[in-house]
Chains A and B, each alone.
Chain A
């Protein structure tokens, strides 16, 4: 039985820069997989390579055993992999509900308009945005737009959800709510999640497994405990050795 997502030796250069180099990992069904690393480590590029926004130079990506390497983003979505953007991309002049209907209509389940509207409402309830369903997406604040990103991706009922820094730019209260949303998504739908996050305590507490990227290369992979005590990770990323133990205590 193959894993839900398998990434093998993925690589991409931009000019002389090795943005991502020889990265391999696998995600199981229902798993939350954290991706961390310093700014510019190639995390978002890795997302773009996986979902087809950028074509990799080398390597292979497979979803449920099927190769999706270099497929167009829409073909990747149709096979069950949805994502959100770090820099939000709301469809500004459409209502919040219509935004999510787009995700439901054109996502993995390819729902008809009517069913899509129902799925979209459910999805908006999950992310606590249902009361804003009829306002234009462009008028939401950043926290709202981030939740809209998740609702859109979720509405098509994907097998795997890629979350790109859903907490960045949120104040502590908003972040708190967002973490609750992510937990709820996992409980309600059982969808596997691959998430990039900078807040260490969040990623440590949410993830089943964590991978650390540094200068485009995989530095380490393991359970949160293993990562927190990994020498190289502490040196390259966490900096302070005590931070790791504090993080684990908080968990």
Chain B
């Protein structure tokens, strides 16, 4: 672990290539349908791989991960819309504020373990959602609509939407790179120790409270920035959409599908889930049963392949794990 420089890792180049493909293929073909499709895929990969830092690396099940995305969206749009700042500082502010809030909140709720922590995160998501629904500066229940002039600062709507798309793709690449970098760092080693046995980790010298708060805050940053970009691109943000608990849990399904704790697996899982979801939504037979199919899929993974796709691959080809992860 850690002996290889990250640039030498094939995974680094796989991530770079995937990011470039996401950015260039729709740009060169001008295919807007493909762009929207890949956008959702990129957002799912961002959500799932940052969540993986909590669930896959640290074994803390965060059901409220979507709160980072939603709150980031709200803060970012508020900065753009009401304060009239440009998009990029708004992204940064959203990321920093949400991470700080997560860090502070984390010092409290991360004292809980197991199911208790999972419950608390559901509570956090619902509390934040209920608060935002009542918070007038954020538009309350009717949400916030972006004024059209916000797009003008970025060279018109068409241009602005492409920029937001590229930025989200970059965030996708950064999320994967972050997962890989943490995995091969001293910090990551500490997280893994916490995942395996928190008490043992503490006795071995891992400063567990700080590590947990840190990873919680880190896992909030990119989703918050992505939230700003995503809802900026949508032009509107509503409480139910921003804090959708189902999407939170779908993110867990994605990382389970690909293999929790793996870098590439989680990305594959998120992408596959997005494709499947898209297929089910347009299919004449299954459009009614999208949720049922997803539920059956989840149940099958949980019961028969809890390590996920890449987990299964690595178990059968252990050498591959050392090369890729």
Contact between A and B in the complex (any CB pair below 8 Å): yes
**Residue positions of A touching B, CB distance < 8 A:** 51, 53, 72-74, 77-78, 82-83, 85, 89-94, 98, 101-103, 105-108, 110, 112-114, 116-117, 152-153, 156
**Is the Cβ of A105 less than 8 Å from the Cβ of B189?**
yes
With A74-B202, A83-B203, A113-B1: A106-B190 Cβ-Cβ less than 8 Å: yes
B residues within 8 A CB of A110? 205
Evaluate contact between A91 and B197: CB separation under 8 angstroms.
yes
- The answer to whether A156 and B196 touch across the interface, beta carbons within 8 angstroms, is no
Identify the B interface with A (CB < 8 A): 1-3, 185-186, 189-190, 192-193, 195-197, 199-209
Known A94-B192, A113-B186; contact A85-B3, beta-carbon cutoff 8 A: no
Q: List 18 interface pairs A-B (beta carbons < 8 Å), by A numbering.
A: A73-B202, A74-B206, A78-B205, A85-B200, A89-B200, A90-B197, A91-B193, A91-B196, A91-B201, A92-B196, A92-B197, A98-B189, A102-B192, A102-B204, A105-B186, A113-B185, A114-B2, A156-B205
- Kindly identify which residue among B2, B195, B204 contacts A106, using a CB–CB cutoff of 8 Å: B204
CB-CB < 8 A to B201: which residues of A?
Answer: 91, 102, 106
Query: What CA separation (Å) do A114 and B192 show in the bound complex?
Result: 17
In the complex, chain B residues whose CB is within 8 Å of the CB of A108: 205
Residue of chain B at shortest CB distance from A78 = B205
Partner of B204, one of A72, A77, A92: A77
User: Does the CB pair A53–B203 fall under 8 Å?
Assistant: yes
CB distance from A194 to the nearest CB of B (A): 15
Please measure, in the bound complex, the distance between the C-alpha atom of A218 and the C-alpha atom of B195, giving whole angstroms: 38
Q: Which residues of A contact B190 (CB under 8 A)?
A: 102, 105-106
Q: Which A residues are CB-close (under 8 A) to B199?
A: 53, 89
Knowing A93-B196, A117-B2, the reply to whether A74 touches B186 (Cβ < 8 A) is no
Residue of B whose beta carbon sits closest to that of A109? B205
**Residues of the A chain whose Cβ atoms lie less than 8 Å from the Cβ of B185:** 113
Q: Which residues of A contact B192 (CB under 8 A)?
A: 91, 94, 98, 102
In the bound complex, residues from chain A placing their C-beta under 8 Å from that of B209 are 72
Task: Name the residue on B nearest A110 (C-beta).
Answer: B205
Q: With the chains together, A53 CA to B185 CA distance in Å?
A: 27
Q: Which of B190, B199, B205 has the most CB of A within 10 A?
A: B205
Which of chain A's residues has its CB closest to B196's CB? A91
**Are A72 and B202 within 8 A (Cβ)?**
yes
Question: Chain B's nearest CB lies how many Å from the CB of A69?
Answer: 17
Q: Which 6 A-B pairs have the closest CB atoms?
A: A106-B205, A91-B196, A113-B2, A89-B200, A77-B205, A73-B202
Once bound together, how far apart are the Cα atoms of A90 and B196, in whole Å?
A: 8
Instruction: With A82-B205, A105-B186, A117-B3 given, name 11 new contacts (CB 8 A).
Output: A77-B205, A82-B204, A85-B200, A89-B197, A90-B200, A91-B193, A102-B189, A103-B205, A106-B193, A107-B205, A156-B204
B310 to chain A, nearest CB (A): 14
A25 to B148, CA, bound (A): 76
Q: Looking across the interface, which residue of chain B has its beta carbon closest to that of A149? A: B200
Please pick, from A53, A74, A94, A114, the residue contacting B3 in the complex, using a CB distance under 8 A. Answer: A114
Rounded to whole Å, the gap between the CB of B187 and the closest CB of chain A is 10
Q: How far is the CA of A98 from the CA of B201 in the complex (A)?
A: 12
Quick check: A101 and B197 within 8 Å, CB to CB?
no
Q: Which residues of B contact A51 (CB under 8 A)?
A: 203
> Are B1's CB and A101's CB within 8 A?
yes
Docked pose: A82 CA to B207 CA in angstroms? 14
A112–B203 Cα distance when bound, in Å, is 19
Tell me the nearest residue of chain B to A72, going by C-beta: B202
Q: Which of B189, B197, B207 contacts A74 (CB 8 A)?
A: B207
Contacts of B206 in A (CB 8 A): 74, 102, 106
C-alpha gap A103/B199 in the complex (Å): 13
Cβ-defined partner of A103 (8 Å) among B197, B204, B207, B208 = B204
Q: How far is the CA of A108 from the CA of B204 in the complex (A)?
A: 9
Q: Complex formed: what's the CA distance from A77 to B202 in Å?
A: 9
A82 to B200 CA separation, bound complex (whole angstroms): 11
Interchain CB contact under 8 A, A91 and B200:
yes
Closest Cβ of chain A to B192, distance in Å, is: 6
Question: B1 to A117, Cβ gap below 8 A?
Answer: yes
